[in-house]
């Protein structure tokens, strides 16, 4: 795609207020592929004004009409699938097959779900002598990360639009091209001017200006816990609604009696997908001590099926990580794992290729719960395998981090797995390989966040109640 040299504000591409630029780099070969303007507080202000101006009209648009326009947006995303996947591959480094199936497939499914929900949702209910109206919160400031550059955007914009809110988006500086494609799709779908606005830029400048803007009623943020904490403080001081979708350190608990080979292979795949850059990645595998060495051997064999290389090549299952900073960070964690005494079973800190921000797919055994690699979010293709004594020990380890976003349980039968999952402090648990569901609320317990995305629960985040008593 050709990058736009401007911001999408009030239904048109407008020149940026300042001269600063962001270079977009292909992480597979380190080449600069495009440049976009870096927005300032002035651009953010213009975008928020456009969103405010569009709000009364959009809020008053009948839900069925809003639903039809979200459906039209979905149709444009479907029509432009190939171009979107290529763009995600170019700026994120995701293997093309994964980009098509997940980076484009998931947001299309999410947009579809909100086209349906907007039409069927009950925006009004009777409670005793009251009628309760569910009204849109107002102008949404959406701040998104690079790891799922289209999905993270659609997971905020689609429910916001379904609710009747208008939006200003500040996407991650590493993946602005996918965000510009999304803005094109919004335009092509015929969504009224000002309902959706895009300001590309850096977090500390454009992102912070958006979170702080007094014309923003709700800030929806996805990214690191460190930045999330700041956003939460800004929103708290201004008494604004806030939703925080933060990090994770999810546990994949394999109970005795489970299909070990299947559970290990699925667990390894979950971590290697998207080069480990998923907030709900199952980065800690918990195995009973009697099956431990068998599981370690199975994991080593499974990870060998993830050769890294050019994400455009059909055989590649593992791309680079997004940028040089993340590569150094992930390799630092691998070095830390070795230093703290974990056993390297596959991979390691060395660069597997001469060019590109690659990290070797890495598996650690003999990881203890207190180790850094068992506690902190690594956000790379690194799996830690821990052993447990019994179910209570497994539960203590599974719940023993500050996070609680995803999780998985494998057992001989559903009942055993569900009983264990009910004791986990986490927002989602996949039972015996259960698939991702775009209707299920997604979000964290503990420091993994505040609020939920996706499905009817995600829609509810963008609504506020007004009760009329009769």
Any idea which residues carry the catalytic annotation? 245
Which residue number places its CB atom closest to ligand NAP?
203
Who contacts 284 (Cβ-Cβ below 8 Å, separation ≥6)?
249, 250, 251, 252, 367, 374, 384, 386, 397, 398
Question: For residues 28 and 378, which CB has a smaller minimum distance to ligand NAP in the complex?
Answer: 378
Q: Minimum distance between the CB of residue 372 and ligand NAP, rounded to whole angstroms?
A: 13
Binding of residue 222 to ligand NAP (CB under 6 A)? yes
Judged by CB under 6 A, the stretch of 48-56, 242-250, 311-319, 459-467 that binds ligand NAP is 242-250
> Of the listed pieces 45-53, 87-95, 133-141, 197-205, which binds ligand NAP according to CB under 6 A?
197-205
Q: What distance lies between CA 43 and its chain's CA centroid?
A: 25
Residue in the structure block whose two tokens are 């300001």: 199
Considering only residues 27, 159, 247, 361, which one is a binding residue for ligand NAP as defined by CB under 6 A? 247
Cβ neighbour number for residue 164 with a 10 Å cutoff? 26
List the structure tokens of 37. Answer: 């303007």
Q: Does 91 bind ligand NAP (CB under 6 A)?
A: no
Residue 178's closest CA among 105, 312, 82, 85? 85
Q: Compute CA 24 distance to the chain's CA centroid, rounded to the nearest angstrom.
A: 20
Residue of 379, 403, 410, 442 interacting with ligand NAP (CB under 6 A): 379
Binding to ligand NAP by residue 202, rule CB under 6 A? Answer: yes
CA distances in angstroms from 105 to 11, 74, 89, 249, listed in the order given: 26, 11, 14, 25
Question: Quick one: 350 exposed, middle or buried, by C-beta within 10 A (0-12, 13-18, 19+)?
Answer: exposed
Complex with ligand NAP: residue 217 or 310, whichever CB lies closer: 217
CB atoms within 10 A of CB 260: 17
232 binding ligand NAP? (CB under 6 A):
no
| Phi, psi dihedral angles at 428 (to 5 degrees) | -145, 140
Closer CB to ligand NAP, residue 35 or residue 204? 204
Q: Name, in order, each residue with C-beta under 8 angstroms of 425's C-beta and a sequence gap of 6 or more.
A: 399, 404, 445, 446
Residue closer to ligand NAP, measured from CB, 60 or 226: 226
9 binds ligand NAP (CB under 6 A): no
Query: With binding defined as CB under 6 A, does residue 114 bind ligand NAP?
Result: no
384 binds ligand NAP (CB under 6 A): no
What residues from 12 to 71 belong to the interface with ligand NAP (CB under 6 A)?
A: none
Here the tokens at position 337 are: 């794992």
- Check binding of 223 to ligand NAP (CB under 6 A): yes
In whole angstroms, how close is the CB of 227 to ligand NAP at the nearest point? 4
Out of 25, 92, 143, 258, name the contact with ligand NAP by CB under 6 A: 143
Instruction: Record the tokens describing residue 28, joined without a space.
Output: 């597979």
- Binding region for ligand NAP (CB under 6 A) out of 24-32, 141-149, 389-397, 422-430: 141-149
To the nearest whole angstrom, how small is the minimum distance from the Cβ of residue 103 to ligand NAP? 14
DSSP 8-state secondary structure symbol assigned to residue 2: P
Q: Is the separation of the CB atoms in 51 and 218 below 8 Å?
A: no
Considering only residues 319-348, where is the footprint of ligand NAP by CB under 6 A? Answer: 326
Does 377 interact with ligand NAP (rule: CB under 6 A)?
A: yes
Q: How far apart are CA 9 and CA 43, in angstroms?
A: 9
Residue 172 in the binding site for ligand NAP (CB under 6 A): yes
**Binding of ligand NAP by 178 (CB under 6 A):** no
Nearer to ligand NAP, 92 or 264 (CB): 92
Residues 173/179/183/184 CA torsion (nearest 10 deg): 120
Q: Where does this chain touch ligand NAP (CB under 6 A) — which range of 25-33, 57-65, 74-82, 139-147?
A: 139-147
Residue 235 is a binding residue for ligand NAP (CB under 6 A): no
d(CA 296, CA 277): 22
* Strands 218-222 and 196-198, sheet pairing: unpaired
| 5 secondary structure, DSSP code | S
Of residues 147, 250, 275, 401, which one binds ligand NAP by CB under 6 A?
Answer: 147
Binding piece for ligand NAP, criterion CB under 6 A, among 8-16, 114-122, 219-227, 333-341: 219-227
Cα–Cα nearest to 120, from 360, 367, 455:
455
Does position 275 interact with ligand NAP (CB under 6 A)? The reply is: no
User: Is residue 246 a contact residue for ligand NAP (CB under 6 A)?
Assistant: yes
| Gap between the Cα atoms of 396 and 469, Å rounded | 48
Nearer to ligand NAP, 38 or 408 (CB): 38
Binding site for ligand NAP (CB under 6 A): 143-147, 170, 172-174, 202-204, 207-208, 211, 222-224, 227, 230-231, 245-247, 279, 326, 377, 379
């Amino acid at each position: 795609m050709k990058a736009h040299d401007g911001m999408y504000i009030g239904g048109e591409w407008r020149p940026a207020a300042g001269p600063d630029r962001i270079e977009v780099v292909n992480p597979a070969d380190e080449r600069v592929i495009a440049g976009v303007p870096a927005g300032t507080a002035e651009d953010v202000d213009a975008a928020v004004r456009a969103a405010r101006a569009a709000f009364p009209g959009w809020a008053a648009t009948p839900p069925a009409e809003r639903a039809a326009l979200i459906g039209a947006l979905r149709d444009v995303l479907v029509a432009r699938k190939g171009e979107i996947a290529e763009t995600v591959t170019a700026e994120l480094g995701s293997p093309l097959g994964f980009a098509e199936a997940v980076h484009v497939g998931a947001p299309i499914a999410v947009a579809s779900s909100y086209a349906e929900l907007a039409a069927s949702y009950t925006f009004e209910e009777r409670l005793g002598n009251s009628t309760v109206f569910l009204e849109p919160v107002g102008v949404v400031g959406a701040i998104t990360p690079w790891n799922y550059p289209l999905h993270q955007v659609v997971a905020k914009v689609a429910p916001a639009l379904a609710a009747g809110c208008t939006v200003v988006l500040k996407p991650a500086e590493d993946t602005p091209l996918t965000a510009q494609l999304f803005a094109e799709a919004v335009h092509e779908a015929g969504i009224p001017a000002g309902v959706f606005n895009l300001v590309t830029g850096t977090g500390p400048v454009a992102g912070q200006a958006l979170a702080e803007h007094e014309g923003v009623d709700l800030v929806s943020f996805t990214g690191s816990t460190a930045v999330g904490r700041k956003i939460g403080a800004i929103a708290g001081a201004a008494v604004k609604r806030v939703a925080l979708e933060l990090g994770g350190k999810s546990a994949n608990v394999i109970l005795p009696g489970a299909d070990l080979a299947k559970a290990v292979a699925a667990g390894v795949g979950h971590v290697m997908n998207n080069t480990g850059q998923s907030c709900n990645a199952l980065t800690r595998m918990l195995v009973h001590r009697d099956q431990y060495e068998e599981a370690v051997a199975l994991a080593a064999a499974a990870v060998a099926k993830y050769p890294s290389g050019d994400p455009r090549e059909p055989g590649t299952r593992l791309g680079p990580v997004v940028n040089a900073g993340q590569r150094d960070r992930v390799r630092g964690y691998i070095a830390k794992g070795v230093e703290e005494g974990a056993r390297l079973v596959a991979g390691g800190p060395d660069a597997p290729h001469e060019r590109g921000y690659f990290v070797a797919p890495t598996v650690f055994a003999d990881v203890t719960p207190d180790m850094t690699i068992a506690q902190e979010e690594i956000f790379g293709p690194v799996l830690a395998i821990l052993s447990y004594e019994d179910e209570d020990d497994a539960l203590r380890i599974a719940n023993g981090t500050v996070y609680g976003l995803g999780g998985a349980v494998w057992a001989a039968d559903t009942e055993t797995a569900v009983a264990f999952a009910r004791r986990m402090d986490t927002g989602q648990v996949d039972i015996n390989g259960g698939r991702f569901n775009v209707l299920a609320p997604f979000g964290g317990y503990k420091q993994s966040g505040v609020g939920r995305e996706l499905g009817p629960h995600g829609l509810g985040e963008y609504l506020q109640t007004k009760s009329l008593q009769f």
